[in-house]
Chains A and B, each alone.
Chain A
Amino acid sequence: MPCIEARGLRKAFGNTIAVDNIDLRVEEGRILGLIGPNGAGKTTALNAILGLTSFEGDLKVLGRDPWTDRERLMRDVSFISDVAVLPRWIKVLQALDYMAGVHPRFDRAKAEGFLARTTIKQSSKVRELSKGMVVQLHLALVMAIDAKLLVLDEPTLGLDILFRKQFYDSLLNDYFDGQRTIIVTTHQVDEIQNVLTDLMFIDRGRIVFSTSMDNFESRYFEVTVNPDRLEQARTLKPRHERQVLGRTILLFDGADRAQLAAIGEVRSPSIADLFVAVMSRQPGRSQGAAQ
């Protein structure tokens, strides 16, 4: 059974189509990065998956309809939505008590273990914590849930680089066990390049690009070319070109690596490079518009 299966998923707010006829299949045990510009429909699509919004089309998460079966689905799904939304009045201790009270798969000892690595005190209220600490608390609570699907919408927003690094390490080492499925959206795409197993770009409500990371690494190459080799390189049909310090960097899809090595310095592109290349080919989007 796939973890998530969507066919013709659509959601409109008035005249604005946030999610436009998406077909999607996420198998168990994958770590999917959902990347897209602001307003691309990522959060709406995730909200549909989490049972927070109604939708048109077919959508099954762990075999359930999230809209009609949210309560039961949430036994197996955990998520952090958008920004820190922990209630400001709650004390850390109360949050632990409550989670332990209502969630059959919450491991309190585990959450306390995560919190022990931070400077968060259990007697503190959320309103007394810094923004970074609130996110740390929320992550500690969510990672202590033995869920089958974890959805993280901008989980590291507002965190410094040290904690972001630590978070993704912890996600891989302490949380991911090869069976859970994780979906993560972030604008700091390059930080999750080594975390993901799958990658999906979404723009204006549609999936515009989708690949596994294995495929990504064997198919896409970036070549830094000196000006004298540029014409020769262009004959190999690069997908995208950009200028850096007087040299040109070309991005190739499915070209022969040996052939590329002859014209310049070859390396794997970053997700951000590929994102820019894909987005700049979208109709109506100039090269610079996709950030």
Chain B
Amino acid sequence: MNTQANAVPDSSLQSRVDAPPVVPPLQTLYWSLRREFWENRSLYLAPLAVAAVFLLGFAVSITHTIRRIAQATSLAPEKQLQAITTPYDLAAGLLMFTGILVGVFYCVEALQGERRDRSILFWKSLPVSDFTAVLAKAIIPIFLLPLFLFAATFVLHWSMFLLTSAALSASGQSVSAFWTQLALPQMSLLVFYHLVAVHGIWHAPFYAWFLLVSAWARRMAFLWAVLPVLAMVALERLLFNTSNIAGMLGDRLSGGAAEVMTMPGTMPLHPATTHITLLHFLFSPGLWLGLVVTAVFVAGAARLRRYRDAN
């Protein structure tokens, strides 16, 4: 969208005579999203910084890496594969972990911060509904953050790949065997699918929950979001000696990968061992239940934003 084109509304001449001019809802949403990135630069700076540091470390230890690749040829096939893919799994895992941290802290602050600094009075002076504002804040961790993490992982993986290929050919080793074994394009596809399906959609209820608590809590939203849940887990254990809540949460937290693909463990995301099970995912009740819970939490957060006064 072009800012200049949107910038000058044609309202001044006709406005108070004709029907009121209206900004399309998608345009309002677009600017609500832009504003989140202006305010929360850590959303992209933190993953970029982590990726840069990782790449630096990888570059420094490149001789070690190509030695490992050379030694791996004498190992069993699965060990060989592991030796080659471990740095790539590590890179992807690190960025995913960074993304979870960034996303959780973003959500915790998203609705409490604007009340604390009273800027909510400015946002509410504009024709943007509470629902649009909260929806934008939910879209960030659920859709845009996974896409950005994929872009960062993609660039990092391919930089590592190019560095390794250059080092291998400089030392006179075969590059093609490495390319075949690594299968980076397929690996990138798996990372993309995993990020969108697990870190975005499957984890969406968590982010929506943090938003809801952020809209409600006057301070310490993180503690309010976490401690009561832990208390419920402990209480269930004490009273009934069961762990249904803990099981449910654990399933939501770490069970996503098993819903969206078949794989031996949580890693590696490699085409030799991992297969996308998109149909299974689309028909899993957990997916739809999670989306319903997300919708309820987001709607609740929007309603709370309307009622809560500035602190």
Residues of A within 8 A of B (CB): 50-54, 70-76, 78-83, 85-91, 94, 96-109, 138, 142, 146, 148, 179
Interface residues of B in 84-142 (CB under 8 A from A): 114, 117-122, 124-129, 132
Q: Is B82 on the interface with A (CB-CB < 8 A)?
A: no
CA distance A108 to B8 in the complex (A): 6
From the candidates A72, A100, A148, name the one contacting B127 in the complex (CB within 8 A).
Answer: A72
Which one of B21-29, B243-251, B255-263 is at the interface?
Answer: B21-29
Name which of B11-19, B49-57, B186-194 contacts chain A: B11-19
Cβ–Cβ < 8 Å partners of B9 in chain A:
100, 103-107
CB nearest neighbor in A for B131: A71
In the bound complex, CA of A130 to CA of B26 (Å) = 35
Chain B contact residue count (CB 8 A cutoff): 41
Q: B38 within 8 Å of A by Cβ?
A: yes
Decide: B30 and A101 in contact? CB cutoff 8 A: yes
Q: Which residues of B contact A (CB under 8 A)?
A: 1, 3, 6-9, 11-12, 15-16, 20-23, 27-28, 30-32, 34-35, 38-39, 114, 117-122, 124-129, 132, 306-307, 309-310
Among candidates B32, B118, B124, residue contacting A70 with C-beta atoms closer than 8 Å? B124
Report whether B127 and A75 are in contact in the complex, using a CB–CB cutoff of 8 Å: yes
Complex Cα distance, B262 from A101, in Å, reads 45
How many pairs of residues, A versus B, come closer than 8 Å at their CB atoms? 123
Q: Smallest distance from the beta carbon of B150 to chain A beta carbons, Å?
A: 27
Chain A residues positioned under 8 Å from B3 (CB to CB): 97, 100-101
Determine whether the beta carbon of B119 is less than 8 Å from that of A85: yes
Set of chain A residues within 8 Å of B118, measured between Cβ atoms: 82-83, 85
- Cβ-neighbour of B38 out of A81, A89, A105 (below 8 A): A89
Assuming the contacts A54-B307, A103-B23, A146-B12, asked whether A71 and B129 have C-beta atoms less than 8 A apart, the reply is yes
| Contact call A85/B30, Cβ cutoff below 8 A | no
Tell me the complex Cα distance, A287–B139, Å. Answer: 57
Task: State which of A80, A97, A104 has its C-beta within 8 Å of the C-beta of B20.
Answer: A104
In the assembled complex, the Cα of A91 lies from the Cα of B37 at a distance in Å of 13
- Cβ A94 vs Cβ B38 within 8 A: yes
Q: If the complex has contacts A101-B34, A102-B31, are A86 and B119 also in contact, measured as CB distance less than 8 A?
A: yes
Closest to B27 in A: A101
User: Chain B: which residue is nearest A94 at the CB level?
Assistant: B38
B20 pairs with A76, CB closer than 8 A: yes
Instruction: Report yes or no: A101 in contact with B31, Cβ–Cβ below 8 A.
Output: yes
> Which chain B positions have C-beta within 8 A of A85?
117-122, 310
Whether B39 pairs with A105 at a CB distance below 8 angstroms is no
Alpha-carbon distance A222/B28, docked complex (angstroms): 54
Question: How far apart are the CA atoms of A176 and B124 in the complex, in Å?
Answer: 23
Q: Contacts A97-B7, A104-B20, A105-B21 given; 9 further ones with Cβ under 8 A?
A: A54-B307, A83-B118, A87-B39, A96-B7, A100-B7, A101-B30, A103-B9, A103-B23, A103-B127
